[in-house]
């Protein structure tokens, strides 16, 4: 659902502020560096996903001198009042509520609020290590169905249990410890294979969407291709058995979904090592747009698009191609400079030192 208003209390540089973006069009948040523009997008993204792409530290999110941050989005649901609220204490458990009911699954939030974020850090999706790419795929899976989120949690916990066991074995493993390790391996083999299968299926769905988005941004030219790459061949149970000696020695699990990657090729060459900075940026944008179109295709209200400072990094041709790509749904865009021509905002908000005011467009 589109966001009608967002209340920020004790979040980042905000004391208490209300942001009212245009529910059905493009809202530009403009202001000098350090004004709080990115923090507004971060707040929405946090509500939708339960975390921030900028930091995992609560101290950074909660305003200095405050114990709690409270975020509350009122959504523009034509049928009923709908709100998503998060109470983020500096320490201790976070509470997320949809219409006042505490929820723990991201899919429950996703029914009300879905976002797709573009940020300058997205470059790392292409240029950086596999963790960011796995996270992107897992994020899309988690919003699509709660069973994938449950599976991700299971895999994560099995890996931590197995890791603890490997640590306790201190480099040597007797028959009794081997029997317990067998059990965790069996769990990891089934949950890990299920997660890799789900990711692979998603990457197969994303591949043509990303390629199409890339053609629209970068024009005709070398195409983008995606493929999910497992860190093992054949059966995961066998692979775990084969790597056991090494795992015990290194006290870490060497194969499994936590070591997989999403390979990205540009013109049949690995984009990570071969593409130029600008090319990598276009591929990163295409990845996000592909995810956007995938979520859009699932039905329901279109996800809210959050574009953080994207134009500062793009040449004018790509910038206007991106503008042309902007969907008809709700978009929030931040910029410290004048947006490129072709961007015609429906609403402009001036952000300055943690205050937000309607600006003249």
Partner 1 sequence: MYTGPLQGLIDELGRLPGIGPKSAQRIAFHLLKIAPEDAQRLAAAIVTMTERTTLCSRCFNVAEGDLCQFCNDPTRDPGVLCVVEDPRDIVALEKTREFRGRYHVLHGALSPLDGIGPEQLRVRELLDRVVPEALSEIILCTNPNLEGEATALYIARLLRPLGVSITRPASGLPMGSDLEYADELTLARALEGRRPVDA
Q: Interface with ligand ATP by CB under 6 A: which residues?
A: 12-13, 31, 33-39, 60, 62-64, 309, 336
Q: Least separation, in Å, of the C-beta of 302 and ligand ATP?
A: 24
Q: Least separation, in Å, of the C-beta of 158 and Mg ion?
A: 38
Q: Given the complex with ligand ATP, which of 31 and 290 has the nearer CB atom?
A: 31
Q: Is 253 left (phi over 0), alpha (psi -120 to 50) or beta?
A: beta
Q: Which of 162, 230, 258, 288 binds partner 1 (CB under 8 A)?
A: 162
Q: Least separation, in Å, of the C-beta of 32 and ligand ATP?
A: 7
> Judged by CB under 5 A, does residue 39 bind Mg ion?
no
**In the chain, where does DSSP find H-type helix?**
37-49, 58-61, 106-110, 123-127, 130-144, 146-169, 175-218, 236-242, 244-250, 271-274, 277-297, 316-325
> DSSP 3-state assignment of 98?
strand
Binding mask 141-160 for partner 1 (x = CB under 8 A): ---------x---x--xx-x
Q: Given the complex with ligand ATP, which of 31 and 345 has the nearer CB atom?
A: 31
Q: Is 32 left (phi over 0), alpha (psi -120 to 50) or beta?
A: beta
Listed ranges 19-27, 93-101, 181-189, 320-328: which one lies at the site for partner 1 (CB under 8 A): 181-189
Q: Given the complex with ligand ATP, which of 192 and 339 has the nearer CB atom?
A: 339
How far the first Cα of the chain sits from its last, in Å, is 25
Alpha-carbon distance of 167 to 253, in angstroms, equals: 11
Q: Least separation, in Å, of the C-beta of 338 and partner 1?
A: 51
Helices and strands per DSSP (H, E), number in the chain? 12, 15
Q: Which residue is it, tokens 């859009």? A: 296
Q: Given the complex with ligand ATP, which of 238 and 353 has the nearer CB atom?
A: 353
Contact footprint for partner 1 (CB under 8 A): 150, 154, 157-158, 160-162, 164-165, 168, 176-177, 179-180, 182-184, 186-187
């Amino acid at each position: 659902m589109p966001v009608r208003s967002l209340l920020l209390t004790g979040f980042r540089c905000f004391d208490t502020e209300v942001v009212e973006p245009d529910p059905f069009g493009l809202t530009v948040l403009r202001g000098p560096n350090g004004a709080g523009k990115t923090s507004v997008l971060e707040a929405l993204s946090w509500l939708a996903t339960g975390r921030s792409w900028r930091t995992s530290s609560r101290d950074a999110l909660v305003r200095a001198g405050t114990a709690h941050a409270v975020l509350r989005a009122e959504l523009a649901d034509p049928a009923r009042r709908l709100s998503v609220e998060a109470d983020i204490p500096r320490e201790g458990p976070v509470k997320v509520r949809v219409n006042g009911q505490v929820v723990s699954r991201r899919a429950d939030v996703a029914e009300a609020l879905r976002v797709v974020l573009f940020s300058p850090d997205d470059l790392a999706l292409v240029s950086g290590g596999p963790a960011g790419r796995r996270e992107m795929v897992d994020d899309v899976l988690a919003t699509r169905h709660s069973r994938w989120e449950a599976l991700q949690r299971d895999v994560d916990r099995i890996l931590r249990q197995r890791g603890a066991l490997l640590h306790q074995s201190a480099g040597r493993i007797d028959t009794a410890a081997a029997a317990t390790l067998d059990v965790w391996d069996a769990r990891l083999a089934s949950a890990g294979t299920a997660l890799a299968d789900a990711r692979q299926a998603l990457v197969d769905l994303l591949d043509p969407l990303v390629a199409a988005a890339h053609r629209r941004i970068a024009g005709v030219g070398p195409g983008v291709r995606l493929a999910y790459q497992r860190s093992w061949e054949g059966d995961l149970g066998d692979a775990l058995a084969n790597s056991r000696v090494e795992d015990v020695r290194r006290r870490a699990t060497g194969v499994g979904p936590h070591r997989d990657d999403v390979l990205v090729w540009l013109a049949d060459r690995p984009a990570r090592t071969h593409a130029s900075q600008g090319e990598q940026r276009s591929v990163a944008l295409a990845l996000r747009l592909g995810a956007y179109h995938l979520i859009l295709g699932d039905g329901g209200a279109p996800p809210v698009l959050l574009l953080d400072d994207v134009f500062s990094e793009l040449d004018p041709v790509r910038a206007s191609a991106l503008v042309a790509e902007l969907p008809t749904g709700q978009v929030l865009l931040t910029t410290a400079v004048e947006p490129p021509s072709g961007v015609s905002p429906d609403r402009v908000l001036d952000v300055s030192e943690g205050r937000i005011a309607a600006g003249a467009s």
